[in-house]
Structure 1
Amino acid sequence: MTRKLFGTDGVRGRANSYPMTADMALKLGAAAGRYFRRDQKEHRVVIGKDTRRSSYMFEYAMTGGFTSTGMNVFLLGPVPTPAVGMLTRSMRADVGVMISASHNPHHDNGIKFFGPDGYKLSDAAEAEIEELVMGEIDLARPENIGNAKRIDDALGRYMEFAKTAFPRQRLLEGLKVVVDCANGAAYKAAPMVLWELGAEVIPVGVSPNGFNINDGCGSTHPETAAQAVVANGADVGICLDGDADRVMLIDEKGRVADGDQIMGLIAQQWSASGRLAHDTLVATVMSNMGLERHLEGRGLTMLRTNVGDRYVVEAMRKGGFNLGGEQSGHIVMRDYVTTGDGLIAALQFLGALVQSGKTASALSRVFEPYPQLLENVRYGDGGDPLLDASVKQAIADGEAALASSGRLLIRKSGTEPLVRVMGECEDAGLLKQVVGDISAAVRAAA
């Protein structure tokens, strides 16, 4: 069947607009409850959320849906997305739910599902749940309706777990750390974990009001943390997004290190200690070519996947790899977590900082990035411009021009009528010309 509700990362949209309505959340909860409740044994679901005003609405609606099919609901409150994956497993839940639109503005929201193993659901499982939503859902008998209760120590469980990712018998004493929590799900956990590990903490974006999540702060606006690092003479800055599953780092000079640089450092460190499974890092097609060349120079492999952390995780599980992620800052370390975890990735960096005695600027510039250029070209309803002969020729000419000195990635957006034209090349002038020519051809054909 053609999926209408689920995208590449759960169900997402503008709050109070289809599909992100309270009515749909109720149906999704009931459908997921029916999907996972296959017998008369006790079944449970954990539900976490970020700090958006609408997250309360969806939390209550999904609770009603789950309990109507006999599922017992455990409400975690505002917690990072990786905490839901971790607690789904540790609490022996049948399913976990995170209510969040990640790095999007407050008016958006989303619903992500985790299976009993703590990993996000497969496409096949999401398709079955969607089919249940569209049909008549078999509800529980009155005596079998589930109950719901809040778990007061959910955040504390995650915090103690996160600290296990920091090197034992070491502390962050003497380090001044800025942490920008994007007024999101980690606004309590991240500053407290860093403080308990010994750091002097300068918190930013820790006053959520339901509407200021990701607003001028967090990983999508790292300039806020960069200013705080420089102004306070901090050693390093950590920028999380609204649900804390991605991270950007700031060095002591206020310069930003993206996910590629962080993955490059962790891969290098883990390889040196024999921890990097199969000497391989899993990344997406968007990761910089400079990272790939850097790893190759050290005898390591970079395996590329489609865009989306779920595809990274699928490749990691299939190949038995333990490190992967995205340029945007999703870093997945399967030794610790089942999904991206911004705080645990940051702790890996801080551990390297403490052990090496180097500055953040010395550690966070692992490789020299190739110039990268992305143009988004909008097209109408007249068809697929990538099928046009002139566009195909422009792409072929561009690939020939870049040859071995660069690469092209041309793809349509999965959510908007856009063709994304991305290129990388050692020669910035040539790159601009090639991307410009292809974009012009797409516009002419659109």
Structure 2
Amino acid sequence: MTFASLGLIDPLLRTLDALGYTTPTPVQTQAIPVALAGRDLMAAAQTGTGKTAAFALPLLQRLTMEGPQLGSNSVRALVLVPTRELAEQLHQSFVEYGAQVPLSTYAVYGGVSINPQMMKLRKGVDVLVATPGRLLDLFRQNALKFNQLQTLVLDEADRMLDLGFADELRAIYAALPKKRQTLLFSATFSEDIRMLAGLMLDNPLSIEVSPRNVASSSVQQWIIPVDKKRKAELFCHLLKVQRWKQVLVFAKTRNGVDQLVELLQEQGVNADGIHGDKPQATRQRALDRFKKAEVQILVATDVAARGLDIDDLPLVVNFDLPIVAEDYIHRIGRTGRAGATGQAISLVCADEVDMLSAIETLTRQTLKRIPQQDFDPLHRVPLTDASGQVVRKSKKPKKPKVIGGGKKTLGKWLESNEPSEPPIKAIRKVPVFNTGPKKKK
């Protein structure tokens, strides 16, 4: 199978050849012909399997072949994504894939000034990549029109539909033309999201090139049980002993990101962090430096879990397990991409056992445990398995309280038929002193 056999035009084929793309991946093989035919599509595939090219290439080809004049403030294809980082990355992918076709592309997202974006949209854009909030801001300020829209793409569709974007999506859908092509791409789809997405699409074709909610087999995964308060110490120990060169670390909270980055920098480690409280320019600069290997450790919240493509990233560390089990698949999908191998290590404390169980149930595999010498947890992490079972250690029964000077206990009283009432401690009489005036006899 070749890209030419999928029906792509020569300008795109030349670009793919220059980028070193020789053989289409399974998701590209199945999705490109369907998208070229104008069909609505739902596509699920593991991370790192080429989903971006699977929708970008046919979208660029359809726009190139149709070639109508763009109206001012108009857009012909809209790609919605959940994060700013993913918006910028997809925009760069469209620039690369469309290097030899006469199309314009642009990305809009929050965290930066809206005025330059409004200026850029005045002449219209063929392909617009956007986060929902900023897209609505632009639309409501009349900086954007959808009358020429032909194709809508939702990348990371499960996140878009499931995690906080419902209101924005409803408002966007209400503004879009009823007649359009809609493509949904993601690594994971829950049953509820599949049903909801099915209502938004017109007679969609569904393709699933890999088992649902399964992490890539190219990623070696294991966990290290550890007490919560010793996670940072363990990470620094592993960093030194294993001589890690480049690591993407996921923490649960923004404060957790900042604290770990500060600790690493105090120890002379070249580390940086990204999370939602940082300005977009700062986040993008940290990510760019990490991609160029100018930063050794990048600590991030789940803003970096979706869709980010980092060449040859060898290792992902879950400093904290994600609250949503599906995010585990997306996190570790940052390594082991495009046929490469990778490793994913999770530092797990007793408080996270339910999250661990949810991950193992979702991925249908029990993660191997590799204890680290001198870091055995005082608070045992209960055993789990892919069936969702958590083997919790039974608690030692409390010793009954001693009642009545210790000769009889409440437990013994409950088991005995002798006393008619529970034994109680004798109450010593306390003399009562009358401080009021004496009564006359």
TM-score (norm 2): 0.30
Work out which of the two has the higher radius of gyration on C-alpha atoms and give 1 or 2: 2
TM-score (norm 1): 0.30
